[in-house]
A = this chain, B = another copy of it.
Amino acid sequence: MFILVSEVGPRDGLQSIRRAMPTEAKIRWIGALAAAGLREIEVGSFVNPRKLPQMADATEVVRAALAIPGLTVMALAPNLRGAQAAAEAGVRKVTMPVSASNAHSLANIGVSTDRAIGQVGEVVAWRDTLPAGARPEIEIGISTAFGCTIEGPVAEDHVIDVAVRLAQAGADSVGLSDGVGTANPAQVKRLFTRLRAELGDKAGGAHLHNTRGQGLANVVAALDAGVTTFDASQGGIGGCPYSPGATGNIVTEDLVWMLEAMGLDTGVDLDRLAAARAILEEALPGEPVYGHLPDVGTEKGFRYAGGRAAVEGSGRAHRQGVPA
């Protein structure tokens, strides 16, 4: 069985880091991630460059990524203007931020949840006017689906209601996001089970964080509910408002190891992933990166889901200047 690991480091990760990765390094990093077997990468964000100067080169990065064969190039856009810029750059999938919590929606993108759903409808209507080959897919991961740092618990009925309205507004895929890192496995299984029952083919993937160490545990729960797409970021960069160790996104390296060990095919090679990590670490020296697999490597006898054997210690990161 194939599980799609959707790499969000170049967008969600880099956007949380104050300094900008040079465009040239971004392009090299994205190339290395794709060479490792990642088939979908969120490469940038089409937002106001004064607000997020780290993403000011989104068009250039998208264009370079489009040259990589077989890669689905994804980008974030908060509204119609952003979606138009993304589509013009050639983005194949546009992800739009919609938060189940109204307070979070206002704080994050300056509009209410209702208005954000309305914007999705506007983007879909405009998208449908484009020629058939030029229409990007519109994908939503509902933020604060598992709880909100401002409002606290979010009613599950409300989350499902928002999801249904987004599907009705024409979104191609609606997933659930735990960007604040409060989700637990029981809740993840419950909500994705309901989402899939309500939305069928439009039910999307899981965007999970590791803020309380529960990231991969939530992956197991989501797999149980039938989820087959998971966002992750190399080195766990992104969305980390707390102290070291309190990582943000689930770590691509650890996720790939776990899925492959479980017999679930990701198409990703851990050694090539380590090579991509070296580019990230070199381009942002001193920036904290996370993950267990890069420290210890694969175990003796590890095999990829497809049966291919790995040398013991595969996927281990070899940091420059740091003895192994």
Contact = CB atoms under 8 A, between A and B. Distances in A.
8 contacts: A150-B300, A186-B261, A210-B292, A211-B292, A212-B299, A213-B254, A213-B257, A214-B258
Contact of A301 (B152, B184, B243, B295): B152
Contact of A300 (B148, B210, B242, B245): B148
Taken together, the copies of this chain in the complex come to 2
A301 B180 CA distance: 13
B180 A299 contact: yes
A39 to B, nearest CB: 22
A212 B245 contact: no
Nearest to A189: B220
A185 to B, nearest CB: 5
Contacts of A301: 147, 152-153
A124 to B, nearest CB: 33
Contact of A182 (B213, B244, B299): B299
B152 A300 contact: yes
Nearest to A259: B184
A219 B221 CA distance: 11
A110 interface: no
A246 interface: yes
Interface string A195-218: 000000000000000111111110
A149 B299 contact: yes
Contact of A291 (B186, B213, B296, B299): B213
Question: Which 3 A-B pairs rank lowest in CB-CB distance, beginning with the nearest?
Answer: A152-B301, A184-B261, A213-B292
Chain A interface, >50% SS class: loop
A251 interface: yes
A295 B242 contact: yes
Contacts of A261: 184, 186-187
A296 B180 contact: no
A322 to B, nearest CB: 9
A57 interface: no
Interface in A124-177: 147-153
A262 interface: yes
A212 B220 CA distance: 15
A227 B279 CA distance: 42
A29 interface: no
A22 interface: no
A211 B148 contact: no
Given A213-B251, A292-B211, A299 B147 contact: yes
A216 B219 contact: no
B292 A246 contact: yes
Given A212-B299, A213-B254, 11 more contacts: A149-B299, A182-B299, A184-B258, A184-B262, A210-B292, A213-B291, A213-B292, A214-B257, A243-B295, A245-B290, A245-B292
A280 interface: no
Interface centre among A150, A187, A246, A292 (most CB of B within 10 A): A292
A122 interface: no
Contacts of A149: 299-300
